[in-house]
Amino acid sequence: MKFISGGPELPEPHSTVRLESWTGWSEAAGRFGGTALYSIRFDAPPSKATAWTLDLGDVRESARVRLNGRELGTVFMRPFTLRADGLKPRGNLLEVEVTSLAANRIRDMDVRKAPWKIFHDINFVGTDYKPFDASKWPVRDSGLLGPVVLSALEAFTPR
């Protein structure tokens, strides 16, 4: 997995066999808000199926999915499921771009007291009408949490 856009900086790429929130991988990943690319090569399970679905499990927060270079679609709410058209018996490449919320990045900017609230015409306050401060927010899970499941679809012919 590699971070491809966002900030405050792009954390180092990360290899993993277990899907989990990227926020625990490093301090930089815990502060990151943006997009990461997950990719895996795999062979299709033995099946006579002619159609497949891909369920991404838990995604924080949206995912753009490609299979063998072909765009399958973008998902942003449950169920994070798409048709897996274009699946080959061998040598498939699945690419999932996951984009997180900006909450961890906003939290980090307030922790570091970085100037980011540069609005000129509004009074930027929280729900308690005190100056907005995200420094005490908990770090939110981000990334592809899975489990990712590829399922064969059975043809149904009504009588």
Give CA–CA dist 23/27, Å, rounded. 8
pLDDT tens, per residue, the chain with 159 residues:
999 999 999 999 999 999 999 999 999 999 999 999 999 999 999 999 989 999 999 999 999 999 999 999 999 999 999 999 999 999 999 999 999 999 999 999 999 999 887 777 676 777 888 888 999 999 999 999 999 999 999 877 788
- The maximal CA–CA distance of the chain, rounded, in angstroms, is 67
Nearest partner of 60 among 99, 18, 13, 19, judged by Cα: 99
* CA 147 centroid distance within chain: 13
Instruction: Give residue 127's pLDDT.
Output: 81
Give CA–CA dist 3/29, Å, rounded. 9
- Domains of the chain, first to last: 2-152 (2.60.120.260)
Counted residue by residue, the chain has a size of 159
Instruction: Give residue 123's pLDDT.
Output: 67
- For residue 36, the 8-state DSSP code is E
**Residue 8 preceded by cis peptide, ω within 30:** yes
Q: How many helices (H) and strands (E) does the chain have?
A: 2, 10
Please tell me the pTM assigned to this model. Answer: 0.91
